[in-house]
Amino acid sequence: MSPNMQMQTNAGGGLGKMFSRAISGESVFQNTYTAKNGIGEIAFASSVPGNILPVQISASKTIVAQKSAYLASEAGVSLSVFFQKKIGAGFFGGEGFIMQKLSGSGTAFLEIDGSIIEYDLNAGESMIVDTGYLAAMDATCSIDIETVKGIGNALLGGEGIFNTRVSGPGHVWLQTMPISSLAGSVRPFITTGS
């Protein structure tokens, strides 16, 4: 960051907001960066290999993202917890019961594992996604789970028993390498000391 940037750590909205951030996988405290005496510059990095996705949040565009996707935002963006209402999707959908909701007004930055693939779904349209690959979606979208058809496919196909169904209308962001998949791919190459 440029030398004129000043950081202040605070609770960011009181006890309720602290609790909401903790449940959604974020730190209970927030850092606020302010440029003093002119224009400043600051950069943020992703915690895993992937991309940082800037998303414009407005009164008509609220985003629901995977737990811990939030990286940073302008002061007008509010981060809160989003509870998955469908029990099956919460247990088996790969995204869990608790997701992050970004509302308000301003630019938010999300961490996406791997590359970003984007789709627009019209009302009544849906797509099937491997569990864990849904990074974010417009709040107008909904998710549910769907079992993989055929016992052989479910047990021998290597893709698991459940998939996530995302239904429109709205914009959807998928990620190509969820951290859980990356960890599974790297695990055989990690040796433990003996």
Asked if 139 and 63 touch (Cβ cutoff 8 Å), the reply is yes
pLDDT for residue 140? 96
Asked if 6 and 33 touch (Cβ cutoff 8 Å), the reply is yes
- Say if residue 93 is in the same domain as residue 5: no
Q: What is the CATH number of the domain that holds 124?
A: 3.60.160.10
The CA–CA distances, whole Å, from 69 to 23, 54, 167 equal: 13, 12, 21
35: its two tokens: 């440029």
- Per the structure, the complete domain to which residue 145 belongs is given by 51-187
Q: What is the pLDDT of residues 122-169, one digit of tens each?
A: 999 999 998 889 999 999 999 888 876 655 554 544 555 778 889 999
Residue 194 lies in a domain: no
Residue 126 lies in a domain: yes
User: Residues near 153 by Cβ (< 8 Å), separated by ≥ 6?
Assistant: 159
Region class of 168: left (phi > 0), else alpha (psi between -120 and 50), else beta: beta
Residue 46 lies in a domain: no
- Say if residue 83 is in the same domain as residue 176: yes
Quickly count: other Cβ atoms within 10 Å of residue 166's Cβ: 23
- Predicted model pTM: 0.75
